[in-house]
Structure 1
Amino acid sequence: MVSLATGSPLTELLYWYSILSVVEQYGIVGGTAREISASVESGVADGTLRPGASLPPVRRLAEALGVSAGTVAAAYKELRGRGVVVTLGRGGTVVASAPAVNSRRPPRVPGGLRDLAGGHPDPAHLPVLTPPARLEPVPGSHRAAPRLDPLEEAARAWFARDQVPAESVTFAHGALDCIARLLSTELKPGDAVAVEDPGFHHLLDLVPALGLRMTPVTVDDEGIRPEALRAALRSGARALVCSPRGQSPYGARFTPARRDELLAVLHDFPDVLVVEDDHNADISGADAVNLASGGLPRWAHVRTVSKHLGIDLRWAALACDPATLARHDGRMLLTSGWVSHILQATVESLLADPAVTRLVAGASDTYTTRREALIEELSAHGIPSHGVSGLNVWVPVRDESSVVNGLRTRGWWTAAGTRFRIMSPPAVRVTTATLTPAEAVRLARDFAEVLAESQAVYGG
């Protein structure tokens, strides 16, 4: 039990008023750790407790609820393990930026604005999807034969083209589905995962939702930095998730020299699972340079087709070491079982179509032209940016909000970098997939004007 406050009657009255106000302010109730954590989770789910909201200190909430501090501490620990809250040291316990009980969806683009925030491909450079006209009924399930032979052979050829070992290949429902399964079968709650910083925002949401901790690894134009990776692995990270090219949001891509440096670090940590997310493989505008070909004992290389064949094609191909494949497929067998054969047949027909191959090659050239056009126009205004591959350009700024809002008043909808960052400096991400070179001229001019205005206010 919690002891009563002591002192003058007025002091005691004020003390108990402050204690009782905790329940009213936060809406947290319960007499056990499970009840308290469920109450917090309910508040997060219905929006009462919003991302970033501070929870009361352990002892203060314990006094308000009439339970022990250990009970509240156990509740907070359970919430941390499920990715609902995070602890910021002296900053206390706060609701996670993307709590696992409440999915964070992108805001609706206001009418009249040019959308350059989504990271999506240009629909004009995607093929029309044609599902198979006929598929015979299945006598039972596909668990015994989850992969269509023609698509499996096509996937092996796709990997082998870029020197990715293709002896062990399987399928999943998209890159994040695959990565989530790999991490959940390899790690236990509380383990650390090394992730790119800045990095893919959905991955940064996924890792804590799995009850795992993120260890940021800084990125430059050649990908993750070797010294930062070594520091992350020395601190105990048990897995690494990275992009060899078309990295979002920075646009980084591995060079042969950087790959060799990273392999030298990774060979000192043979128990670490290395997951490469090569989701932009065919439209990144960069050569295939990967870690998967480096003889690592534990590795996985994931590719999808949503960026170059269609966002409705939730299919991923995975090449990996035999042990990783067994763990992945064992978990899939117990859950979804297999990827729809209708989806597989659709993907296989697209991969085998020469006209689609030509369309994808043209899209890759167009995306490179558009990305480089914006970088050149920004440079002409003295604005440095990054984007040597992929569909985005990363522009460092001092004040993300003022820049995003300033561009909005000029008709541009861009993404504040805070969604993609852990410890890296502020920036704005611009998706260039649909941005024509002519539009890049106007955007760069507007960007320069907004920066001048924001810097005047920032320094005033």
Structure 2
Amino acid sequence: MNWKPDRKDKKAIYKQLAEYIEHGIIDGTFPLDNPLPSERKLAEEFNLNRSTVVAAYDELESNGLIERKRGSGTVISKDIWGLTKKRIPSWNRYVEAGSFQPSLPVVQRLRKETEDQKLINLASGELSPDLFPLEYMGKITSTRTFVGNLGYDHPQGNQILRSTIAKHVKKYKDIEIDPSSILITSGAQQALHLVVQCLLKPGDAVALEDPSYHYGLSIFKSAGVRTYLLPVDKDGINPDHLRKLHQKHRIRMLFLNPAHQNPTGAFLSVERRKQILELSSEMGIPVIEDDPYSLTSFSGEKTSPLKSMDVNGNVLYISSLSKIVASGLRIGWIIGPKPVIERIADAKQQVDFGHASFTQWIANEFLDSEYFDVHLNNLISKLMQRRDQIVTSLRSTLEDHVGFHIPQGGIHLWCELKKEYSEAKLLEAAIKRGVIFVPGLTMGEKKGFVRFTFARENEKNIERGIKRFSEAFFSL
């Protein structure tokens, strides 16, 4: 066989191989009465991974060109021209042709690895089960009677819950809002997806923080929008950078995580907040404020979001209970101008016919109870202890090989590693030693950074996890 895969071609290697075999069947290179080469032989012949050959044979089998027979190997279909054989759809082609883009391969890998309960998890951006208010939820469900409609609820979400959220954001975040300007969503992720799908069109330019959780989201690519990055320092983004970016690319929307930003922990200064709102009004750029962490401020001081300073209605405010109560409740919300909320609510109805009534009821009862403040104070105290532990562990194990800003809230710590290394090799070395983290390149363009989440593990496991990470780091 004189064929070789073209590794510079954008076409996947398995597809090249499938096409080569298909042409070989047609021109007689592979006779109809002989078995095709085994997966192992083809892998050795062309210096390919066996999984690549398997994918190529899957493609040919789905197209009805070959058959796999136990004990006989892989043979060319006797009904190759499809006269009697029922054809199987080429699912690989459908998977690749879909308009909704898959997550980055590294992100998919992290998601699978975090399912391994044996790994110390410093990657998942959620609370550990022992931080969930299970005791209080148990009291609510055992002592109170469910009040609600088990049928489809209001398109914007349960009216009682929206009224409770209006009181909640007024008390804790200084946001004055009518319940009719609130939409209940399945967490902040769905809120972001709906905003992008409903308010932007292909080719629109949006600005994201760099680094940022938003950087790795496929929703922007799927919508066909162009993303431009704004560097983040300890005080958040620089408004001057936004002005220059808008002059060059005509930014249509700005996405911000101003309080204890994911992943840097940065807190957008009050002065910069004012400047961003002024620029938003001057240039007509809507601001999407994603606020999962402001209630976790370790100082105990109230943190007022951009939305509380927004007198012109330029800010769409997104928040949820995922990072302060429980991610499994899937309760988030969008606050904004009524026409926008009604537009997005219509889209949500098309997707899921509205949010689940029972979880809305539980969320309402908990937010409106005396348990909420008790839980929040306990959560902040435990997160501080875990933050302090990860800082201590990093300093003792990596010393001057690591640099970081100590976050004053939230659940993440952003580290710069002061050594040349391969992100892929470091991740593999860490997983091999039983700990997982988030490589920095999944959250921005800069190399040499990692994100640790300290909300998922207790102090003892954090200490063990950082020790294992340091062993992986020094092994490279």
TM-score, normalised via structure 1 length: 0.71
Aligned-pair CA distance for 1:449 = 5.2
Q: Deviations over 1:138-187 (max 9, x none)?
A: 597434784232x2222112221312232322211211111211222211
Alignment CA distance shift 1:402-1:156 (3 Å): same
May I ask how many residue pairs the two structures share in their alignment? Answer: 377
The equivalent of 1:240 in structure 2 is: 254
The equivalent of 2:67 in structure 1 is: none
The 1-side partners of 2:185 and 2:163 are apart by 16
Is residue 386 of structure 1 aligned with residue 397 of structure 2? no
The equivalent of 2:124 in structure 1 is: 118
The equivalent of 1:189 in structure 2 is: 202
Contact between 1:207 and 1:214, CA under 8 Å: does it hold in 2?
Answer: yes
The 2-side partners of 1:376 and 1:178 are apart by 36
The equivalent of 1:224 in structure 2 is: 237
Contact between 1:191 and 1:212, CA under 8 Å: does it hold in 2?
Answer: yes
- How do 1:59-458 residues align onto structure 2 when only pairs under 5 Å count? 82=99, 84=101, 97=104, 106-109=111-114, 110=116, 112-128=118-134, 129-130=137-138, 135=146, 138=149, 141-143=152-154, 146-149=157-160, 151-161=161-171, 162-167=173-178, 168-200=181-213, 204-234=217-247, 235-270=249-284, 272-285=285-298, 287-292=302-307, 293-379=309-395, 381-382=399-400, 383-388=402-407, 389-397=409-417, 398-399=420-421, 400-421=423-444, 423-437=445-459, 447-448=469-470, 450-454=472-476
Letter in 1 for 2:426: V
Letter in 2 for 1:291: L
The 2-side partners of 1:105 and 1:47 are apart by 22
Alignment CA distance shift 1:143-1:98 (3 Å): farther
Contact between 1:301 and 1:320, CA under 8 Å: does it hold in 2?
Answer: yes
Q: Deviations over 1:310-350 (max 9, x none)?
A: 12111112221233223222333444343222121110111
TM-score, normalised via structure 2 length: 0.68
Alignment CA distance shift 1:140-1:357 (3 Å): closer
Structure 2 unaligned residues grouped into runs of 5+: 1-8, 21-53, 57-95
Alignment CA distance shift 1:343-1:83 (3 Å): closer
3-state SS of paired residue (1:302)? strand
Contact between 2:216 and 2:443, CA under 8 Å: does it hold in 1?
Answer: no
Q: Deviations over 1:86-105 (max 9, x none)?
A: xxxxxxxxx98369xx9777
RMSD of aligned alpha carbons: 3.7
Alignment CA distance shift 1:21-1:179 (3 Å): closer
The 2-side partners of 1:139 and 1:440 are apart by 42
Q: Deviations over 1:14-56 (max 9, x none)?
A: xxxx9x9999507689xxxxxxxxxxxxxxxx977xxxxxxxx
Letter in 1 for 2:255: V
- The farther-off stretch of 283-292 and 425-434 is 283-292
Aligned-pair CA distance for 1:283 = 2.6
The equivalent of 2:64 in structure 1 is: none
3-state SS of paired residue (1:176)? helix
Aligned-pair CA distance for 1:243 = 0.8
The equivalent of 2:81 in structure 1 is: none
Q: Deviations over 1:357-409 (max 9, x none)?
A: 21221111211232133234434512212351311111123432343344445
Aligned-pair CA distance for 1:223 = 2.1
Between the two proteins, what is the percent identity of the paired residues?
A: 20
